[in-house]
Amino acid sequence: MWILRRYAFCTFTRAAAQQIPVLSRVSREKYKEKRRMKYVLVTGGVVSGLGKGVTASSIGVVLKACGLRVTSIKIDPYLNTDAGTMSPFEHGEVFVLDDGGEGKITFASFTSVLYLYWGSWKTKPTQHSVRELRALGLIPHFLACRSAQPLVENAKQKLSQFCHVPVANILNIHDVPNIWHVPLLLRNQSAHDAILKQLDLLSVARHVDLQEWTRRAETSDNITKSVRIAMVGKYVGLTDSYLSVVKALMHACIACSLKPSIDWIAASDLEDDSAKLTPEAHAAAWKNLRGAACVLVPGGFGDRGVKGMILAARYARENSVPFLGICLGMQISVIEFARSVLHLDKANSEEFDPQTPDRVVIFMPEGSKTHMGSTMRLGSRRTLFQTPDCIAAKLYNNSEYVDERHRHRYEVNPDIVGSLEEAGLKFVGRDESGKRMEILELQDHPFYIGVQFHPEFKSRPGRPSAPFLGLVLAATGQLEAFVKRQQNGNV
């Protein structure tokens, strides 16, 4: 128990051989052994923010680059059955997986094989903590040392001597211009060879290929142009609450050789009340909003800032500013449109006003047997495009459907969809029943899209998420050309 409490922030990297080589009969048994799932346990002290998550995933990248199949498992030191009930103010963003699993995103990860330590030139603290680890029966095969400057060879020698870890297994993760360099840093120290050797996988691995990564890391170092994105949310004081959204914007921007420049706008600062109570904040918020090339309203819960988000959606709609509404952001755009265009003054979500006569967003629990007890519609669900002739379908590579992750309780009221569509707000993506609205697009607007799901959770470096890419392309005047290319099928 003590071990668990002290050190149970864990990330495993599971690695398995992907290719099945032609085998002689003698080596079959050996091969079977190698095909077995191997685990790399990454652990560090209880302090978070040392980059244990980055280290664990970078090891994953390097092993993948050697032709292995890699997945990662994160273990938190508490029973993590419902991370979704934690406040993003206290715990950062809640990340959602395909199967509806939720996790706290603050990367505090753990290891017995690879021990991560932040150190300067002083090696004593590392020695002490490794000794403590050994006393618990956890014998590290590797040490990953975080430092600002590259570690000098003599420090490595010392650590090796006192911690009983071979010099080749002491990895130094010093500060780099961006985290995409970390896999390269590991490769340059032959970490992949050392890890493969330890896992007895050297013979099934192929030569490490990190060309794509190198290109991306270097591109992102050399980008000079940026795009201003107004992020209008409730938790803007703690930007970690939107970590995946920020990463998704980063992936989309890098794909367009741009840097994201995010203006965080507290939605409540945009509201009329704030003009009276905090006029400076109000003026600054509007100045930021007007100065941005596009507007993003991310997901959220509760009614704080909703009025301000509605104002932001209205501003984007009326001024042809590219807009992306995610989950709550999509619901906001429906409320705004119903109020301004359909003149339903009281239009609202049941979440914010259960008594409203114009319930344009309603509570729609899912009667699924696999989600018993919980009212949240959680995890991967399919969205069918209603027509190939919409921006969203083209951004999603002209697919007929897309699977994205969800995390919500409320949804667009199907009874109001007819009037919204007649007035120009088209629901171009719906679930398989046709009753749940998944993607909306405003006609006669350069880019105004709302999605009921969270596309940010499936964005990856080198594989940017379609709605984010669309937003960035639209914000920089490149969307039309992109859509045309998609139409001609030559992307």
Could you say which residues in the range 345-374 bind ligand GLN, by CB under 6 A? 351
| Residue (195 or 351) nearer to ligand GLN, CB | 351
What gap in Å lies between CA 252 and CA 305, rounded to an integer? 27
- Per the document, the length of the chain is 491
Q: Is 327 in the site for ligand GLN (CB under 6 A)?
A: yes
End-to-end Cα spacing for the chain: 54
Tell me which of 145, 163, 327, 390 is the catalytic residue.
Answer: 327
Whether 141 is a known active-site residue: answer no
Q: Is 96 in the site for ligand GLN (CB under 6 A)?
A: no
Q: Is 232 in the site for ligand GLN (CB under 6 A)?
A: no
Q: Is 141 in the site for ligand GLN (CB under 6 A)?
A: no
CA distances from 468 to 46, 196, 424 (A): 34, 37, 22
Q: Is 407 in the site for ligand GLN (CB under 6 A)?
A: yes
Best CA proximity match to 403, nearest among 362, 449, 438, 368: 438
Q: Which residues pair with 450 in a beta bridge?
A: 325, 440
What contacts 247, CB < 8 A, 6 or more positions away?
A: 456, 459
| Residue (235 or 410) nearer to ligand GLN, CB | 410
Out of 286, 410, 457, 482, the only residue in the binding site for ligand GLN (CB under 6 A) is 410
Q: Which stretch binds ligand GLN (CB under 6 A): 73-81, 138-146, 194-202, 403-411?
A: 403-411
Q: How far is the CB of 300 from ligand GLN (least distance, A)?
A: 5
Q: Which stretch binds ligand GLN (CB under 6 A): 79-87, 196-204, 273-281, 298-306?
A: 298-306
Whether 456 is a known active-site residue: answer yes
Q: How far is the CB of 355 from ligand GLN (least distance, A)?
A: 18
Is residue 62 within 8 Å of 183, Cβ to Cβ? yes
Q: Is 100 in the site for ligand GLN (CB under 6 A)?
A: no
Task: Show the 3-state SS of 285-329.
Answer: HHHHHHHCCEEEECCCCCCCCHHHHHHHHHHHHHCCCCEEEECHH
Whether 327 is a known active-site residue: answer yes
Compose the 242-281 pattern: x for residues touching ligand GLN by CB under 6 A, - for all others. Answer: ----------------------------------------
What gap in Å lies between CA 229 and CA 249, rounded to an integer? 9
CA distances from 491 to 141, 386, 474, 475, 486 (A): 46, 22, 17, 20, 6
Q: Is 325 in the site for ligand GLN (CB under 6 A)?
A: no
Is residue 324 within 8 Å of 455, Cβ to Cβ? no
Out of 301, 356, 374, 401, the only residue in the binding site for ligand GLN (CB under 6 A) is 301
245 class by beta-carbon count within 10 Å (0-12 exposed, 13-18 middle, 19+ buried): buried
Query: Applying CB under 6 A, which residues contact ligand GLN?
Result: 299-301, 327-328, 351, 407-410
Catalytic residue annotation: 327, 454, 456
